[in-house]
Structure 1
Amino acid sequence: MLAIIAVGGAVGFRSLLEGLGQFYYLPMVPAVLITAMLARRIATGLAIVLSIAVNLTLVPRESLTDALTNALLFAAVSWILAEVCWAMRAMQDRTRDLSRQLAAKDVMLNTALASVPVVTLNAEGEVRHLSPAASTLFGLNEAAAVGRPFSELASGFDVAAILGSGATGGALEARDGHWTGLRPDGATFPLSIQFGVASDPIGDTHVALCLTDLSRWHAADAQARELHAQLNKVWRLNSLGEMAATLAHELNQPLSAAATYLHASQVDMEKAGALGGSALRTVELAKGQLLRAGKIIRRMRELLSPEARRLDSERASSMVEDLGPILTMIGSSKGVAIRMEVEAGNDRVRAERIQFQQAMVNLVRNAVEAVGEHAAPEVVVVGRPTSDTHYRISVEDNGPGIAEDQIERIFQPLTTTKTGGMGLGLSVTRTIVESHGGRLQVSRSALGGAAFSFTLNRESSVENA
């Protein structure tokens, strides 16, 4: 239809030009071009055929050869022009596609820059652009920052060091581990910097800085260290309590025996009459001091031994997740990655949070030390409900395991296989577990090493989150 309309229009235009002279195929060329620009090859071929037919009908020719030659020449020229039109259409389509792709990428880039603190500098270290996130980070609008040295925003920053290194990108290290960002009100915050260097076509050098505020990371690290210190404090107190109990048990017997011997000596001295009176008083004083020493030991045992714990409703997964930074530090010291497989559903239990976490830290530390020499060390913390009333926690490793004849002995106080160890770790852990109504058990792990496990009573009356 387009070919017919275009050729019809060309014929009408040709009729208007008849008064000016003889026109052959020239008025028909626009019809072919219009069809080629708006339609495909079939329609364009039809326009060429119709143009030739109309021309042969309206214009008398001297001979068949003349008519055929002009027709073929018109067809060839028209097809070449049509090919040019199609190429231009393809280029326009490609240009539109590229424009849409570039627009989409531009939107994505602007979105990324809006959410990430990015600063661009010139070769002199002066700010050329601040992303909205960077403006928020420094508490400074872009207009006030442009043209200022970036060293005024990050203490100690030196762009010459970056350009002099020849590196095109990477992390920018600070002397004390992090950079210090400065805000207009004098506030400071820890900062990490990633940089990239590029040159534009006219030779200007640009430095792009990607910034990260480390305040939350530092706060989380400080919180983890505080929790670690708190657990260590509780651990020392429990260890002292365990030691006091052991010493009280071991010392009470010789003290009682010494008091008995002194009493027997008093009986013999009383038989000596007046001659033994002075010695009798001295022995009585010594006996009194021995009995006093026994009372002191019992009082220390009562003071330092773990008191009756008040168990609260806690989520087992939450208590273990809070230990994540501490367990990571324990594992990284030996190059061991600790895997968590604690089910978060139906995990409401009765527990004393700090004491439970203290026991977990000790079990994981023992597991990490056990696999320290393994080529592919594995430590996994597993937690899952085992019934309507119990939730089981286990710490498993692929270390050498525990020998059968050592299973009962390792829980005894002052028994250790570690050089420099006091032998109180597993004893204190067992005391904590038992105070929670559980029993610490050791068995062979599916990983090939040891598996220390215990159960906590589930809080069935509380709806699990």
Structure 2
Amino acid sequence: MTGTRSASEKLFSMATVRTYRGWKAYLLAVLAVLACFTLRAALELIGHFYYLPMVPAVVVTAMLARRGPTLLAIALCIAGNVALVAREGLVDTVVNAGLFLVVGCVIAEICWAQRRMHRRSIELTRTLAGRNAVLDTVLATVPVVILDREGRVRRLTPAAAGLFGVDGPRAAGRPFADLVHGFDLARQGEQASNGPLEAPTGHWIGRRPDGRPLVLSLQMGVMPEASEEDYAAVCVTDLTEAETATERARDLDLQLHQVWRLNSLGEMAATLAHELNQPLSAATTYLQASQRDIERAGLIGQSAARTLELAKGQILRAGAIIRRMREMLTSGKRTVVDERISSMIDDLRPAFALIGRERGVEIRTVIANNDDFVRAERIQFQQALINLVRNAADAVTARANPVVVIRGEALGEEGYRVTVEDNGPGISGDIESIFRPMTTTKSSGMGLGLSVTRTIVENHGGTLTVGRSDLGGAAFTVDMPRGGEAP
């Protein structure tokens, strides 16, 4: 590409003709006429010449200057001839001067047309050189494979050779199906349309010598004047990293879903333990009272007393089971390590994008990635944050321009703050009530979301509060501590 550019620059410099303007152009006309008169004087030694030696003056001036200097050159030629050459009469002088004027103007027009064509050719040459440079750049960076009518590789761009891990010249002549599994040019050519090629499995699978598979997207174009040598060009797009990222996002979403289910079960167990503890305690007290009354009956009530004792034991066992479930699901051991807030939120960007598309909401992230280390269990924290974003997105769906903003800022030694705010209607009434279990404003909600979220944050030693957002809606603020094990 460097050689092509240098050759083009040399061509432009050789083909460019200098144009004289201003007084230099008129001086050029005078000098050209004087030179031609000098030439004619020299030619007088071998014969008589009149206007013919003056033609070069008109040609030189017309090629190097504009109309004014050219007309001056013609006028000077006529004036010089009239003054220096004796004619038979006035008619002869006028006729010859008029003929030279017409011939000179015609020659000048031809020269000017030649100059216009010259400039146009230079512009076209520059345009073609620019397009060639762009094409060379594209072919150097985009994986493209040229195929013949049999589906064999004719040429590969360096990017394509690097993608498939092959040597370009050695790959020439191989079937393209050796590089892309299941590719059949004859079947693809029957579609009779240039554009994306659909694989039976959705994506094409490429083969590399090292055994690493490639997930590919193909676009084919048939050349307008295809020959037996070059028939079609296939543009190859590597989707391997994109598919890997999508798979990681699916795995993360699955983990978040599983953690959310466990947290919801834990919150439900905690609520049930709290609500059932009183009736179970009352039932135990009643059984103890009944047991004392039956014991007063003597031997007759001993059998019934034993039965009541068994019933009381089962009630106490039920309470212990509920407490163990609560401890296991909500206060189990977690792996708390140093994590970066920016990294945890970056992992959630695909999930945020999915929530935004499903609900038609714009979700922005403004995260300060300096001094953002906290002690956290990664999946648990991400689940708490994703729940806050879902709630905010649900709250703004009825707005004309729904927006959810996730902000992050360092608080120095105190920790790091993450705020999820929206431009929804906000929260009215008792703000703290929204964190109570079984409290919800959604027709299909269980009322555990914010309760679970606060539990997760508090188990990390942080706090979750709610207030008014500058956007007009609600703002949920999570303050995470710097160090120390979470309680």
Aligned match of 1:40: 66
Aligned mate of 2:366, from 337, 342, 354:
342
Instruction: Verify: 1:274 aligned to 2:294, yes or no.
Output: no
Contact 2:206-2:215 within 8 A present in 1 as well: yes
Number of residue pairs matched? 453
Q: Please, which of 253, 263, 286 is the counterpart of residue 261 of structure 1?
A: 286
Q: CA deviation at 1:219?
A: 1.4
> CA offsets per residue over residues 191-238 of structure 1, 9 Å max, x none?
012333440398998433222111111111122122222222322222
**Per-residue deviation, 1:69:** 1.4
Deviation at 1:392, TM superposition (A): 4.8
Q: TM-score, normalised by structure 2?
A: 0.81
Change (3 A) 1:364 1:202: same
Out of 34, 59, 82, the position equivalent to 1:8 is 34
Q: 1:403 to 1:172 in 2, by over 3 A?
A: farther
| Equivalences for residues 124-273 of structure 1 within 5 A | 124-167=150-193, 169-200=194-225, 206-273=231-298
Structure 1 pair 302/171, CA: closer, same or farther in 2 (3 Å)? Answer: same
* Equivalent in 453, 456, 463 of residue 479 of structure 2: 456
In structure 2, give the amino acid aligned to 1:152.
D
Cα gap change, 1:338 to 1:375, in 2 (>3 Å): closer
* Most deviating of 273-282 and 177-186: 273-282
Q: Hey, what's the Cα distance between the residues in 2 that align with 1:351 and 1:440?
A: 19
Note if 1:428 corresponds to 2:452.
yes
Match of 2:316 among 263, 288, 291: 291
Q: Is the 8 A contact 2:462 2:481 kept in 1?
A: no
Q: How far does residue 81 in structure 1 lie from its aligned partner after superposition?
A: 0.8
CA distance in 1, matches of 2:227, 2:298: 118
**Contact kept? 2:341, 2:369, Cα under 8 Å:** no
Contact residue 262 and residue 283 of structure 1 kept, 8 A: yes
- For 1:413, the equivalent position in structure 2 comes to 437
Q: Distance in 1 between matches of 2:480 and 2:404?
A: 22
Map of 1:68 onto structure 2: 94
Check whether the contact 1:382–1:395 (CA below 8 A) recurs between aligned residues.
Answer: yes
CA contact (8 A) 1:362 1:429 kept: yes
Shift of residue 184 of structure 1? 3.5
Distance 2:338 2:366 in 1: 17
Instruction: Select the residue among 419, 422, 438 that pairs with 1:393.
Output: 419
Task: Return the alpha-carbon distance in structure 2 between the equivalents of residues 66 and 203 of structure 1.
Answer: 70
Secondary structure of residue in 2 paired with 1:291: helix
* 1:287-328 residue CA offsets vs partner (Å, 9 max, x unmatched): 333333323322222222135878766554443332110122
Matched, 1:365 2:390: yes
Q: Matched residue of 1:285: which SS?
A: helix
For 1:131, the aligned partner's letter is: T
Give the distance between the partners of 1:311 and 1:208, measured in 2 at CA: 54
Residues 40-62 of structure 1, C-alpha deviations (whole Å, 9 max, x = no match) = 33332333233223333443211
Q: Distance in 2 between matches of 1:311 and 1:193?
A: 45
Unaligned 5+ segments in structure 1 are 461-465
Offset of residue 358 of structure 1: 0.7
Distance 1:367 1:197 in 2: 50
Cα 1:128/1:201, change in 2 over 3 Å:
closer
Q: Taking structure 1 as the reference length, what is the TM-score of the superposition?
A: 0.84
Q: Secondary structure at the match of 1:154?
A: coil
Do structure 1's residue 121 and structure 2's residue 121 form an aligned pair?
no
**Letter aligned with residue 175 of structure 2:** P
Counterparts of 2:216 and 2:365, CA distance in 1: 34
1:261-287 deviations in whole A, cap 9, x for unaligned? 222233223322333334433433333
Please report how far the alpha carbon of residue 255 of structure 1 lies from its aligned counterpart in structure 2 after TM superposition: 2.5
Question: What do you get for the CA RMSD once the two structures are aligned?
Answer: 3.3
Report the CA distance shift for 1:376/1:304 in structure 2 as closer, same or farther (over 3 A).
Answer: same
The structure-2 alpha-carbon separation of the partners of 1:156 and 1:320, relative to structure 1 and needing over 3 Å to count, comes to same
CA distance in 2 between partners of 1:443 and 1:3 (Å): 84
Q: 1:307 to 1:451 in 2, by over 3 A?
A: farther
State the one-letter code of the partner of 1:128: R
CA contact (8 A) 1:340 1:380 kept: yes
Pair 1:45–1:311, CA change in 2 (3 A)? same
Q: Cα 1:203–1:360, aligned 2, differ >3 Å: closer, same or farther? A: same
Q: Tell me the equivalent position of 1:23.
A: 49
CA distance in 1, matches of 2:106, 2:391: 84
Matched to 1:95, the amino acid is S
Q: 1:310 to 1:153 in 2, by over 3 A?
A: closer
In 2, distance between residues paired with 1:366 and 1:108?
A: 49
Q: Rate the CA distance shift 1:454–1:74 in 2: closer, same or farther, 3 A.
A: same
Distance 1:418 1:337, change over 3 A: closer
Match among 327, 345, 348 for residue 323 of structure 1: 348
Structure 2 CA distance for aligned equivalents of residues 43 and 357 of structure 1: 81
CA-CA distance at 1:20 after TM superposition = 3.5
Letter of the structure 2 residue corresponding to residue 431 of structure 1: T
SS of structure 2 residue aligned to 1:176 = coil
Q: Secondary structure at the match of 1:165?
A: coil
Please say which of residues 121-130 and 201-210 is displaced more in the overlay. Answer: 201-210
Letter of the 1:65 counterpart:
V
Q: Deviations over 1:427-464 (max 9, x none)?
A: 101222334432332668846xx62512315769xxxx
- Tell whether the 8 Å contact from 2:147 to 2:153 is kept in structure 1 after alignment: yes
Distance change (3 Å), C-alpha of 1:288 and 1:354: same
Which of 386, 406, 412 is the aligned partner of 1:382? 406
Q: Secondary structure at the match of 1:210?
A: strand
